[in-house]
Amino acid sequence: MTDEDLNTGREIQATLWPQMASGGTPRPAAKLAPDFYAWVAETAFGKIWSRDALPLRDRSLITVAMLAALGRTGELRGHLAGARNLGIPQEELVEVLMQVAVYAGVPAANDALTVAAEVFGITV
């Protein structure tokens, strides 16, 4: 683990989720496997999200689409909130999730839109 990649990763995470910069909400899984979360910060965010070829905004949209397509609604919830923290408008995120229906199926998009409605505070 390199300190530089870990610090860079944590900076990116704090950009997506500002509450992480102040310690955030403790997660039981982080207590169970603290090395795992440091590894995620170092590798996913410090080595990949930090690359210059794509801006954070694009990486965020790609991540939202992939999580929706894979049906990973728990992670999707967090990345939708992160996308909003980056300033990505709700309308663009909805368009990304609608496109998921074409390539990953209507059920995946339906689940993702349901999660998005929760994240955006939309109720019936």
Q: Which residues of the chain have pLDDT under 70?
A: 1, 23-26
Domain ranges of the chain: 1-53, 54-124
Q: Which amino acid is at 103?
A: Y
Helix (H, G, I), strand (E, B) or coil at 50: coil
What is the pLDDT, as a whole number, of residue 10?
95
Q: Look at the alpha carbons of 109, 110, 115, 121 in this order and tell me if their dihedral is positive or negative.
A: positive
What Å distances lie between residue 1 and 4, 6, 51, 106, CA to CA? 9, 7, 17, 40
What tokens does 81 get?
Answer: 């909130």
May I ask the CATH architecture of the domain 54-124?
Up-down Bundle (1.20)
Element (H, E) at 122: none
Q: Are the C-beta atoms of 83 and 93 separated by less than 8 Å?
A: yes
How many angstroms separate the CA atoms of 30 and 64, rounded? 22
pTM exceeds 0.85, yes or no:
yes
Over residues 17-26, the pLDDT tens digits come to: 998 877 666 6
What is the pLDDT, as a whole number, of residue 30?
85
